[in-house]
């Protein structure tokens, strides 16, 4: 299916948000926030949230700096 991840189009063959995040290396990281279609999905729901064609995913990770 076709998704948008952080404003970039991507293809995804899985089903859940957890699968997508694991595939991109974010599944086991702490401090990650994810929104699907502008709705924040809490971490405990990642494994149950089924993605659909055209979903827009925003992955936010903390950054250091000043």
Out of 7-11, 17-21, 61-65, pick the least confident: 61-65
Own/partner contacts of 21-28, CB < 8 Å, gap of 24 or more, are 21/46, 21/59, 24/59, 26/59, 26/61
What is the pLDDT, as a whole number, of residue 27? 86
Q: Tell me the pLDDT tens digit for each residue of 26-66.
A: 988 999 999 999 999 999 999 999 999 999 999 999 887 76
DSSP bridge partners of 35 = 40, 58
Question: Domain ranges in the chain?
Answer: 2-60
Query: Which superfamily does CATH assign the domain made up of 2-60 to?
Result: Beta-grasp domain (3.10.20.30)
């Amino acid at each position: 299916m076709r998704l948008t991840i952080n404003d970039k189009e991507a293809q995804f063959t899985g089903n859940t948000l957890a699968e997508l995040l694991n595939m991109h290396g974010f599944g086991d990281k702490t401090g990650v926030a994810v929104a699907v279609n502008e709705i924040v999905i809490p971490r405990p729901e990642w494994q149950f949230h089924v993605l659909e064609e055209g979903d827009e995913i925003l992955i936010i990770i903390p950054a250091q700096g000043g």
